[in-house]
């Protein structure tokens, strides 16, 4: 079966032709909590889920609207199915397929931001870029390595932890934040 992966929950998921019934926040939280940022080139394990949580926390600390907070938490959800490919090596074809998958995920898990996610990209992308810079500052430190990410002058409002968190903790935190955001939208 071409383009089909098996998910943690046992679903068969076609990455390039996503079926909304197969999209599962539990699969996303689990996979992202085990997927390492920077292709594993940091000096500690730091997952995509932890990055997404930090993006959400940064949006929250800036008092940004609920829709931006959701965008920040879910902005890398497609990577649960397609992996975390570093920006410099993403091809246009990959980016287009990722966009289709991301749109399907958002339509299922956060329909209220499915359209605005791409329209509000500047807000959550600035947070994503800010975290990227500070993640390299924090987790790429060794005697000879300098931060390869340009400093755009963004300021981080949260403090990144240097403590490695068990993936189960990060997975549970991701799910908890998602559930809280969904509850807030219905209030």
The pLDDT value recorded for residue 121 is 83
CATH tag for 4-186 (out of 1.10.3720.10, 1.10.3210.10, 1.10.3430.10, 3.40.630.30)? 1.10.3210.10
pLDDT at site 60: 97
Report the distance separating Cα 51 and Cα 164, nearest Å. Answer: 12
User: What residue segments make up the domains of the chain, in order of their start?
Assistant: 4-186
Tens digits of per-residue pLDDT, 134-172? 999 999 876 566 788 888 898 999 999 999 999 999 999
């Amino acid at each position: 079966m071409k383009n089909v992966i098996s998910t943690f929950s046992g679903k068969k998921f076609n990455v390039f032709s996503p079926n909304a019934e197969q999209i599962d926040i539990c699969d996303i939280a689990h996979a992202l909590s085990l997927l390492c940022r920077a292709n594993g080139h940091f000096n500690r394990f730091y997952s995509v889920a932890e990055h997404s949580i930090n993006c959400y926390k940064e949006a929250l600390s800036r008092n940004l609207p609920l829709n931006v907070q959701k965008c920040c938490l879910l902005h890398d959800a497609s990577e649960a199915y397609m992996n975390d490919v570093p920006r410099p090596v993403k091809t246009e074809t990959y980016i287009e397929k990722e966009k289709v998958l991301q749109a399907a995920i958002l339509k299922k898990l956060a329909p209220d931001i499915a359209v605005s996610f791409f329209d509000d990209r500047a807000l959550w992308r600035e947070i994503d870029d800010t975290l990227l810079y500070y993640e390299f500052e924090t987790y790429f430190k060794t005697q000879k390595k300098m931060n390869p990410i340009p400093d755009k002058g963004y300021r981080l409002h949260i403090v990144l932890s240097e403590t490695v968190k068990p993936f189960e903790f990060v997975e549970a935190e991701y799910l908890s934040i998602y559930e809280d955001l969904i509850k807030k939208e219905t209030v």
